[in-house]
Chain A
Amino acid sequence: MTPLIALSGISKSFGPVQVLTGIDLVIEPGQVVGLLGENGAGKSTLMNVVSGRHRPDGGRMELDGAAFAPGSVAQGIASGIRFVHQELSLAPSLSVAENLFLGNYLSRRSGFVDRKAMRSRARTLLEAVGLGDVDPGLAVSHLRAGEQQLVEIAKAMVTRPRLLILDEPTSSLTPAEAGRLFALVRDLARAGTSVIFITHRIEEALANCDRIVVLRDGRLVSDQSARETSRDELIRHMVGREALFAYRGGGRPGAGAQPRARIQGLTDGTHLAPISLDVAPGEVVGLFGLLGSGRTEFLETLYGFRPHKGGSVEIDGTPIVLGSVAAAVAAGITLVPEGRKTRGIFPTHSVRRNISASSLARLSPMGFVRAGQEREETDRLSSDLGIRMHSAQQAITTLSGGNQQKAIFARAMEAKPRLLLLDEPTHGVDVGAKADIYDIIHQLAREGLSLIVASSELTEILAIADRCLVMSAGEQVAILDRDEMSEETILRHAFTRHA
């Protein structure tokens, strides 16, 4: 059988940086291929070469056995290659149907848009991605993030692609939505469409792909059948270490001492039923719940970012003023928020100024920022946290996602917290940065810092948490001790209010 697409010796560099070196890859029709690798390993660049956005510097590509050199994304699409990016490219105030056919509206011979045809085709496409109950006339902004992601995939299917490339499609999907997406992928594969599937979730790749390809530092390091490989082997290929999700805790100062933080009946009156929790010094409390369970709302209410409607919080026995971020920071609570790009970084600021942003009051007693002290402290934190960069003066957007996340970590640490709140601290970072962040969390806890870590990944909770608070539909449903924590128990509690 002629392969759908065959790459041989593909290389690509941006300026002095060699991003891809000698990549050989063959995709058969109807195959589902998982593409794994750390951030910066070259996954997106490789897929951009395949889809026509970048031209390779060396090597050749063949499509159906004939030389293939797309000069633009449009040419790639014309050849049947569709790349669905992780960042959404939908027009939020247009309807779902309009978005699906954007730039390609179905029209009558008179030139007028054929709304009826668009609606009925939209309905078929939506059903295929598992959004059968969504009205095609609804504005996209009314959909949840996961639904928008699925609309994006439906949009790619309008042109009936032969190769569909999905970049982390499940990161914003609920388990049910992800399940439907994989069913769709299997249907497509049966009909002969090949699918390349970029992901950070290894189990997902193992369960749903025929083959798994791993990139590291721009080279293809392994290409195996999913049945013949394992999670540990893949992690080793990606980073060269195993034991990522091993529990590092134990031997920390336990209960008995005065709690570092005492949260009593904290509620926001809308999303959160009252929550009570004590956190000991040096303790890591995991916060688990399904999407929409109120994890983020709880952390943000505790942090004063959202208005509260009752309850009290004490830090080392001193009550704090709720409803003000400045008061929380002053009392020693800091938050590393979810959503690095939209809620974390200052994109045009340097790494250093991103780190010092929360601590300027301390660094500028007379109002003037002490540049020397700022440099010294931020440099020390950057090196402690292992932020990889040329200089602290470079714009934060020039760093990889994992390093940006460490910089936001450094910002929280620079404010000298006593209770550190982490909301999805490893969302969208590569395995290497993930391991670093787990090590950092462990180290901070050993130094006596208390942490509450919200995560939607059970493996993460099990790797770092000493106890686990489980939430379901805005309610606190369980606090599990370490010896009670297992994937099964935690999940069972998380589904309590989702009968």
Chain B
Amino acid sequence: MDLRNELPMQMPHAKPTPGTRPSATSAGSSALRRLAGQRETSVALLLLVVVVFMTFANENFLTSRNLLNVGRQASVVAIVALGQALVIIARGIDLSVGSVIGLSAVAAAATAQATGLQAFGIGAAIGTGLAVGLVNGLLYTRLHINPFIVTLGTLSVARGIALLITGGIPISFTGWASWFGAARVGSVPVQLILMLLLAVVFFVFATRTRWGRNIFATGDNPTAARLAGIDVDGTRLLVFVLSGVVAGLGGLILAGTLGSAGPDLGRGYELDVIAAVILGGTALSGGRGSIPGVLLGALLMALLGNAFVLLGVSSHWQVVTKGLVIILAVGIDGVRRGRED
């Protein structure tokens, strides 16, 4: 979120009233200009292009059933990406989230099976995420190991533990704790509702609270932040813990959706998650980023996956396209800002 833009989320509420027509137009054009300057704009436009194209290309696309399906597919990536966005805004990176998804899912299923108590399963998933996040954060802030290296290490360790627990065999996960991933309210998947709720919570946290503000300041200039009296180490620890917790939740949801927890669950998710964050206009160099952008990024990627299925194109092309879209969206932004060296 660029710091000027708490607006996009509020703009839909602005209704032009008849009496204020002239000023409303000028406000509209300046809002338009403001919108064009947002880093999320390029991904939003790409999203629109895909939606318009698919609406004409396939009659099954614009149905509530299909769109809800897309939303469901986007939700786990989006939820995990909310935490990742905070980490990246604070100038870190968390490569371990894919493995945390797997380990949390396994921990939830194994705990629920062993104790027979579903609530313990939920606690195990969240607790696992929190514990890995805490380890990441402590290794980074106390031992001063680069976060890329720290989380590359925990990526491997967490995956290995998941394999050790299961012996490589998936554990069934069908009790009521699977509700988060399996259930629907009406026709709307629970995980989609959860994604929207968490997005609002993260948005408010990032932009309205002092802890959120400190995340931006820490990423923008860590030395200046420390000199300004901001608890830089505490802030870094916090973002890694939050990232771990939402990754744990992601594992719980994914296992619920599948009805089982395999040790390979979430493998490669870190790349989708980081891509969603970057697509949404968050700068890898820290200090800048957007929570609404994260949702847009995750949606775009789910939408592309959906489009390929509906059009009957090989899923191998989907992998290629995903990469191209990331380069395109970030490239547009780079060209617009010009060179910085």
**A60 CB–B CB distance under 8 Å:** no
Please tell me if the beta carbons of B224 and A346 are within 8 angstroms of each other in the complex: yes
Chain A: interface residue total (CB-CB under 8 A):
32
A343 to B213, CA, bound (A): 18
B14 partner residues in chain A, CB cutoff 8 A: none
Which of A247-255, A352-360, A473-481 lies at the interface with chain B? A352-360
A328 to B3, CA, bound (A): 28
A353 to B209, CA, bound (A): 13
Q: Find A361's partner among B210, B225, B226 (CB 8 Å cutoff).
A: B210
Q: Find A346's partner among B209, B210, B217 (CB 8 Å cutoff).
A: B217
A357 partner residues in chain B, CB cutoff 8 A: 213, 217, 225, 228, 230
Taking CB as reference atom, which chain A residue is nearest B231? A326
Please tell me if the beta carbons of A328 and B210 are within 8 angstroms of each other in the complex: no
**A393 CB–B CB distance under 8 Å:** yes
Taking CB as reference atom, which chain B residue is nearest A327? B229
**B223 CB–A CB distance under 8 Å:** yes
Q: Interface digits, B213-253 against A, CB 8 Å rule (1 contact, 0 not)?
A: 11011001101111111110000000000000000000000
Q: Interface digits, B188-230 against A, CB 8 Å rule (1 contact, 0 not)?
A: 0000000000000000000011110110110011011111111
Please tell me if the beta carbons of A368 and B229 are within 8 angstroms of each other in the complex: no
Please tell me if the beta carbons of A349 and B217 are within 8 angstroms of each other in the complex: yes
Please tell me if the beta carbons of A328 and B217 are within 8 angstroms of each other in the complex: no
Please tell me if the beta carbons of B287 and A349 are within 8 angstroms of each other in the complex: yes
Please tell me if the beta carbons of A358 and B228 are within 8 angstroms of each other in the complex: yes
Given contacts A348-B3, A348-B220, A360-B214, contact A343 B227 (CB under 8 A): yes
A350 to B287, CA, bound (A): 12
A328 to B210, CA, bound (A): 19
Q: Interface digits, A348-380 against B, CB 8 Å rule (1 contact, 0 not)?
A: 111001000110110110011101000000000
Please tell me if the beta carbons of B221 and A345 are within 8 angstroms of each other in the complex: yes
A359 to B2, CA, bound (A): 21
A325 partner residues in chain B, CB cutoff 8 A: 226-229
Q: Find B220's partner among A342, A347, A367 (CB 8 Å cutoff).
A: A347
Q: Find B229's partner among A328, A343, A349, A369 (CB 8 Å cutoff).
A: A328
**B288 CB–A CB distance under 8 Å:** yes
A364 partner residues in chain B, CB cutoff 8 A: 209-210
Please tell me if the beta carbons of A347 and B210 are within 8 angstroms of each other in the complex: no
* B213, B217, B229 — most chain A CB neighbours (10 Å): B229
What is the minimal beta-carbon distance from B44 to any residue of chain A, in angstroms?
21
A364 to B212, CA, bound (A): 12
What is the minimal beta-carbon distance from A302 to any residue of chain B, in angstroms?
13
Q: Find B210's partner among A305, A343, A367 (CB 8 Å cutoff).
A: A367
Please tell me if the beta carbons of B227 and A337 are within 8 angstroms of each other in the complex: yes
**A344 CB–B CB distance under 8 Å:** yes
Please tell me if the beta carbons of A369 and B3 are within 8 angstroms of each other in the complex: no
A363 to B223, CA, bound (A): 22
A344 to B4, CA, bound (A): 20
Please tell me if the beta carbons of B287 and A347 are within 8 angstroms of each other in the complex: yes
B211 partner residues in chain A, CB cutoff 8 A: 367
B227 partner residues in chain A, CB cutoff 8 A: 303, 305, 325, 335, 337, 343-344
**A36 CB–B CB distance under 8 Å:** no
B216 partner residues in chain A, CB cutoff 8 A: 346, 349, 353
Please tell me if the beta carbons of A305 and B213 are within 8 angstroms of each other in the complex: no
B214 partner residues in chain A, CB cutoff 8 A: 360
Taking CB as reference atom, which chain A residue is nearest B341? A89
A358 to B224, CA, bound (A): 10
A115 to B143, CA, bound (A): 40
Please tell me if the beta carbons of A346 and B4 are within 8 angstroms of each other in the complex: no
Q: Interface digits, A120-154 against B, CB 8 Å rule (1 contact, 0 not)?
A: 00000000000000000000000000000000000
What is the minimal beta-carbon distance from B2 to any residue of chain A, in angstroms?
7
Please tell me if the beta carbons of B221 and A353 are within 8 angstroms of each other in the complex: no
B228 partner residues in chain A, CB cutoff 8 A: 325, 357-358, 411
B4 partner residues in chain A, CB cutoff 8 A: 350, 393
**A329 CB–B CB distance under 8 Å:** yes
Q: Find B287's partner among A342, A346, A368 (CB 8 Å cutoff).
A: A346
B220 partner residues in chain A, CB cutoff 8 A: 346-349
A360 to B4, CA, bound (A): 18
Please tell me if the beta carbons of B226 and A369 are within 8 angstroms of each other in the complex: no
Please tell me if the beta carbons of B229 and A326 are within 8 angstroms of each other in the complex: yes
Taking CB as reference atom, which chain B residue is nearest A337? B227
A345 to B227, CA, bound (A): 10
Please tell me if the beta carbons of A363 and B210 are within 8 angstroms of each other in the complex: yes
Taking CB as reference atom, which chain A residue is nearest B220? A346
Taking CB as reference atom, which chain A residue is nearest B287? A348
What is the minimal beta-carbon distance from A73 to any residue of chain B, in angstroms?
14
A371 to B227, CA, bound (A): 23
* A303, A345, A347, A349 — most chain B CB neighbours (10 Å): A349
A371 partner residues in chain B, CB cutoff 8 A: 208
**A465 CB–B CB distance under 8 Å:** no
A136 to B2, CA, bound (A): 44
A353 to B223, CA, bound (A): 16
Taking CB as reference atom, which chain A residue is nearest B218? A346
Taking CB as reference atom, which chain B residue is nearest A344? B224
Q: Interface digits, A316-346 against B, CB 8 Å rule (1 contact, 0 not)?
A: 0000000001101100001101000011111
B229 partner residues in chain A, CB cutoff 8 A: 325-326, 328-329, 334, 358, 415
What is the minimal beta-carbon distance from B229 to any residue of chain A, in angstroms?
4
Please tell me if the beta carbons of B221 and A347 are within 8 angstroms of each other in the complex: yes
A344 partner residues in chain B, CB cutoff 8 A: 224, 227
A363 partner residues in chain B, CB cutoff 8 A: 210
A41 to B208, CA, bound (A): 39
Beyond contacts A342-B221, A348-B2: 10 other A-B pairs, Cβ-Cβ < 8 A, are A325-B226, A342-B224, A347-B220, A348-B288, A353-B3, A357-B228, A358-B230, A364-B209, A369-B209, A393-B4
Give A contacts to B, CB under 8 Å: 303, 305, 325-326, 328-329, 334-335, 337, 342-350, 353, 357-358, 360-361, 363-364, 367-369, 371, 393, 411, 415
| A–B Cβ pairs within 8 angstroms, 5 of them | A328-B229, A344-B224, A348-B283, A357-B230, A360-B213
Q: Which 9 A/B pairs are nearest by Cβ-Cβ distance? A: A360-B210, A329-B229, A346-B220, A364-B210, A358-B228, A348-B287, A357-B228, A325-B229, A367-B209
